[in-house]
Amino acid sequence: MVQFNSVSMVYPGGNKALDDIDFRIRKGEFVFIVGASGSGKSTIIKLVLKEISPAKGMVRVMGNDLASVNSKGIPYIRRQIGTVFQDFRLLKDRSVYENIAFAMRVVEASTRDIKIRVPELLSMVGLSNKENCLPQELSGGEQQRVALARALANRPSMILADEPTGNLDPANSMEIMKLLERVNQQGTTVLVVTHDNEIVNQMRKRVITLNRGILISDNEESGYSNEF
């Protein structure tokens, strides 16, 4: 799914965010990336989405070397990745339903598919009764569930979540993690960036730990399929 080969990232201004990072995430895995603030976690997410390009090394996503993907190709890579962020990133002027449908409109899904898929997603995240609400009328946990539903709308092969529980209390955080786990059980690869040690300990998944741009530990278990 995702492979980093000796990846270094230097931001303009000389800020070295990642230093010679190597890891590989296989199809169907559930992986946490943890580390102190500024250790380079979000930088990894941005590299996978090709919002930025590495100074050195190779990033492969779903079999594509991102260096060889031009700006026309980027949207098609991103369509296969669902993203969730700490700040939810919902459209404030549109209803819950519209926010989810929006993700499908962007990829030119048919109106018929949208009408079937959106209620399906709403019921999955337990918000069927809130479809006409605006984001501001929802709690943080509910907003994040809308964001997750949107991320799943186009049946991505992978979910990237950057501190999805950063703004949520423990109960809501756990609920989001359970949803992510369910999504993962249905075959979607999940990559979660988090600060929250409690969650990491409870979930018992693979954990990649970063410190100041260096990968200091990765409890990658053997026995995963070699499928890529």
Partner 1 sequence: MSFKAFSYSVKQGLLSIKRNKMFSLASVGTMVACLFMLGVFLAILINFRNIVNSAESTITISVYFNKDTTPEQIAQIGRDISARKEVANVTYKSADDAWKEFASQYYSNNEDLLASFGDENPLGESDSYMVTLKSMADQENITNYLNNITGVRYVNSPQSTMESLQRLNAIISVSSISLIVILLLVSVFLISNTVVVAISVRKEEIAIMRLIGATDHFIRGPFIVEGMVIGFVGALLPLGLLFGLYEVLLKLVNDDISQMASWLMLMSPGKVFIILAPVCLALGVGIGMAGSLITVHRHLKV
Task: Count Cα neighbours of 211 within 13 Å in the Cβ-side half-sphere.
Answer: 3
Give the CA distances from residue 52 to residues 26, 48, 67, 87, in Å, rounded to whole numbers and listed in that order.
22, 9, 11, 20
Q: CB under 5 to 8 A by kind: which of partner 1, Mg ion, ligand ATP, none does 194 bind?
A: none
Number of residues that make up the chain: 228
Say whether 226 sits in a helix, a strand or coil: coil
- Would you count residue 42 as binding ligand ATP (CB under 6 A)? yes
- Would you count residue 144 as binding ligand ATP (CB under 6 A)? no
Comparing CB distances to partner 1, the nearer of 75 and 126 is: 75
CA dihedral (75, 225, 176, 102) in degrees, to 10, reads 20
Contact with ligand ATP (CB under 6 A): which of 21, 25, 28, 41? 41
CB 87 → ligand ATP: shortest distance, Å?
A: 11
- Would you count residue 78 as binding partner 1 (CB under 8 A)? yes
Contact with ligand ATP (CB under 6 A): which of 3, 43, 173, 189? 43
- Would you count residue 46 as binding partner 1 (CB under 8 A)? no
- Would you count residue 93 as binding partner 1 (CB under 8 A)? yes
Comparing CB distances to ligand ATP, the nearer of 38 and 57 is: 38
Q: Which amino acid is at 25?
A: I
- Cβ burial, residue 80 (10 Å; 0-12/13-18/19+): middle
Contact with Mg ion (CB under 5 A): which of 1, 9, 18, 42? 42
How far is the C-alpha of 204 from the C-alpha of 219, rounded, in Å? 10
How far is the C-alpha of 110 from the C-alpha of 90, rounded, in Å? 22
- Would you count residue 40 as binding ligand ATP (CB under 6 A)? yes
- Would you count residue 15 as binding ligand ATP (CB under 6 A)? yes
End-to-end CA distance of the chain: 5
- Would you count residue 39 as binding ligand ATP (CB under 6 A)? yes
Residues in touch with partner 1 (CB under 8 A): 49, 71-72, 74-81, 83, 89, 91, 93, 102-103, 105-108, 110, 150, 154
